[in-house]
Amino acid sequence: MFTIILPTYNERENLENFVGALLAVFRGNGLSGRILIVDDSSPDGTGDIADSLAERHGNISVLHRPQKQGLGPAYIAGFRQALNTDTRFIFEMDCDFSHNPAYVPRLLEAAADADLVIGSRYVAGGGVENWGLLRRLISRGGGLYAKWILGAPVNDLTSGLKCFRRQVLEDLDLGKVSSHGYGFQIEVTYRALQQNFRVKEVPITFSDRQRGQSKMSNRIVLEAMVQVWKLRFGRN
């Protein structure tokens, strides 16, 4: 049993189609999985769509949060709820089709001999699609920056496609995870490495969203740049 956590904020254009694609992957591969949608009170009605999906499918649940607090707190809330079930593996995943639902079986297979599996754009066979040069430079440069400062043996520290064994999230002190934006991805991976969990990267191709607006901002980038130094010197 596994749970895929989908954090949402203004994703009404993507959510239903993405969940449908995930369910098709479950059926096509004989997988017994759950989907937990964590919505931060999206003003565009994403939460209502999530509730409708949960009413129609017994393996979908929704966690409504009172306000937008960032990616990190949304995932932490989802982790805590998933850990209250019998789930063995917990996924992070974007619901805007940046992450192909077809990668779920690949990450589960890799988790047979790893504690944390990362869908990596920056290992052999991985890559990105539909990105301009500037975004490629920011993404690749940010990952190398974090890897250099932290000395982490991971090529894609900022990847948002992950599969955790539940023990990883049980052993990490989730209350100490302080990143709100995409620095959260760096932080949870680094903390897992610090506790000597086995981390494996598998290649994926990341496709830029076709619908809706990106949540990336200058503030989020700055937070991540500062956060790696705090992690490096143990100031979290």
Give residue 193's pLDDT.
Answer: 95
In which residue ranges of the chain is pLDDT below 70?
A: 209-226, 229-230, 232, 235-236
**How many distinct structural domains can be found in the chain?**
1
| SS3 per-residue string spanning the chain | CEEEEEEECCCCCCHHHHHHHHHHHHHHHCCCEEEEEEECCCCCCHHHHHHHHHHHCCCEEEEECCCCCCHHHHHHHHHHHHHCCCCCEEEECCCCCCCCHHHHHHHHHHHHHCCEEEEECCCCCCEEECCCHHHHHHHHHHHHHHHHHHCCCCCCCCCCCEEEEHHHHHHCCHHHCCCCCCHHHHHHHHHHHHCCCCEEEEECEEECCCCCCCCCCHHHHHHHHHHHHHHHCCCC
Give residue 96's pLDDT.
Answer: 92
**Residues spanned by the domain of 43:** 2-232
155: domain CATH number is 3.90.550.10
Give residue 222's pLDDT.
Answer: 60
Tens digits of residue pLDDT in 43-86: 999 999 999 999 999 999 999 999 888 899 999 999 999 999 99
In whole numbers, what is the pLDDT of the chain averaged over residues? Answer: 89
Give residue 236's pLDDT.
Answer: 52
Give residue 221's pLDDT.
Answer: 59
Give residue 216's pLDDT.
Answer: 52
